[in-house]
Amino acid sequence: MLYALCFVLTMKSLAVIVSNGSTNNLIQVLTVLMAAVHSDIKARVLFRDESLFRLTPAKINAMELSAAYAQDSAVQQRLKKLDLTDLQKLCRDIKASGDVKYYACSSSLAICGLKKEDLIPEIDEVRGVPAFLLEDVAAADKVLTF
């Protein structure tokens, strides 16, 4: 327990790889990022695979819950009450609150048939997985995948 507490207290950077594109998965990522920036932790996030489809202006705020969450008809109301439905605003607010960079995976963009211009403006740049691994993951104190 003491080791875990010391690790959290000394953590300065976080690398996050996001593959799943469900609304609840993206909310989970964004709430972790909120906690990170409010703890002065630098975060670098690579969106890849199906999560990229959700990063377009037309889809960012679509309510696409996973099967488990979709079973509960009140989830959407609770998300709204908690102010967790405008994902683009959350992305923007998180970036404004700390050292966060959002990247779109270059190979996943090609597979999805998307270009950077198709994505929300909060995405900082397109990066390949090798660059993300060699630079951001290698420098991170902790790596999370969603």
pLDDT in tens, 4-20: 444 455 789 999 999 99
Contact 57, 28 (CB under 8 A): no
In a domain, 18, yes or no: yes
Alpha-carbon torsion 76, 82, 83, 88, what sign? Answer: negative
Cα–Cα distances (Å) from 96 to 23, 92, 120, 133, 140, in that order, read: 22, 6, 15, 25, 21
What angle, rounded to 10 degrees, do the helices at 23-38 and 87-97 form? Answer: 20
In a domain, 1, yes or no: no
In a domain, 3, yes or no: no
Instruction: Give me the mean pLDDT over the 103-123 stretch.
Output: 98
The CATH number of residue 43's host domain is 3.40.1260.10
Q: How far is the C-alpha of 107 from the C-alpha of 38, rounded, in Å?
A: 32
Lowest-confidence segment of 7-16, 65-74, 76-85, 113-122 by average pLDDT: 7-16
- Number of domains within the chain: 1
In a domain, 4, yes or no: no
pLDDT recorded at residue 9: 54
Average pLDDT, the chain: 93
* Nearest CA among 1, 56, 66 for reference residue 27: 66
pLDDT recorded at residue 10: 74
Range of the domain at 51: 13-145
In a domain, 8, yes or no: no
pTM (2 decimals)?
0.90
Instruction: Give me the mean pLDDT over the 94-120 stretch.
Output: 97
Instruction: Give me the mean pLDDT over the 83-107 stretch.
Output: 97
Tokens for 73? 């008809």
In a domain, 5, yes or no: no
Q: How far is the C-alpha of 122 from the C-alpha of 102, rounded, in Å?
A: 7
pLDDT tens string 36-57: 999 999 999 999 999 999 999 9
Instruction: Give me the mean pLDDT over the 55-82 stretch.
Output: 93
Amino acid at 38: H
